[in-house]
Every structure is written in C-alpha cells, then in structure tokens.
Amino acid sequence: MAPRPPIAYIPWTRERYGRLGYEPYRWTVNDTVVPLAALRKPLSEARIGLISTGGVVWRDQAPFSEDKNDLTFREIPKGAALDEMRIYHNARYYVREPRYDINCVLPLERLRELEGDGFIGELASPVFTIMGRIFSLARLRGELAPA
C-alpha cells in the first residue's frame, strides 16, 4: 500500500468547522515560554517516559469515552504486545493509519528497539495513554495533569 499524504490538520479543521456553521475553532495558546533544558546525562543512560494522546488501550482495559473531554488515562506495560492494542478515539479520521501501524500513535516498538540498541538507557514502564481530544484546557490542567 502506498503511503498516504499527511493530513493538513489545521486547515482541515477550519474548513470543517466553517462548513458546519460553527465559530472559528479557538486553538489553545500557551503564553508562558518554558525553556528547554539540556539532559544531565547521555541519552544512552536516560530513562524515557512515554505519554500518548492516541486513545490506545491494552487487552481488556476500558475503552475511552466517545464523548469529548475524557480525562481518564490507561497504563500499558512497555513489553505489551502490539496486536493486543485497540484504539478508542472520537476523531474518526484519526484511527485509520494506527490500525495498520500502532507505532504512529504509540511508538512502543521503536522505543524498545532504541532501548535494545543502547541508544536510550531504558523505556520507563508503564507507558501512559489518554484520549487526545480534550477541549477543556482548565479540566485538563486541573484534573488530568495538575502542575
């Protein structure tokens, strides 16, 4: 199968919302600039954490809600088999490609390879997944990821 071109998400969303008669979509604006920090050790000695917004669940975990603003998360062991993953995401266009290769939203296989090659020190376990379509920034910051 030939690769599909990437989705021009922002223009696509603007056009879609306009066609449906909605006000222009208000994107989140982060006014605080957080400076990047250099690693204090080589990447080959670092433990890497993974948080995916892909709506991925493992085995018999409860699916994410089809409604917007599902503020729950799932823990997936770093050694979990990829064929035991399922995607529950309310953005229908979003789930096509991950059905062919889950690594595009939960790059477990790639990170395990980097760990095995010694490029990274360790992939932390568990990895975490959430439903990325959370429209309430206040609830996201206050309930799911308080500072």
Tokens of 17: 């919302």
Average pLDDT of the chain?
Answer: 86
* Count of all residues that appear for the chain in the document: 147
CB 26 within 8 A of CB 100: no
| Pairing of the two strands 85-87 and 56-58 | antiparallel
Q: How confident is the model at residue 94 (pLDDT cuts 50, 70, 90)?
A: low
Domain spans of the chain, in order of start: 43-142
Q: How many other C-beta atoms are found inside a 10 Å radius of the C-beta of residue 87?
A: 20
Tell me the pLDDT tens digit for each residue of 109-141: 999 999 999 999 999 999 999 988 787 778 888
Q: Give yes or no for a contact between 86 and 60, defined as CB atoms under 8 angstroms apart.
A: no
Per-residue tokens: 35: 């400076």
Each residue of 55-86: pLDDT tens digit?
899 999 999 887 778 899 999 999 999 999 98
Integer angstrom CA distances of residue 22 from 11, 17, 18, 49, 94? 15, 5, 6, 37, 21
Task: For residue 110, list its beta bridge partners.
Answer: none
Q: Report whether pLDDT(93) > 60.
A: no
Question: How far is Cα 9 from Cα 75, in angstroms, rounded to an integer?
Answer: 28
- Answer yes or no: pTM beyond 0.85: no
**Which of 78, 77, 84 lies closest to 109, judged by CA?**
78
Amino acid 75: pLDDT: 97
> Tokens 């064929």 — which residue?
83
Looking at residue 134, its pLDDT comes to 80
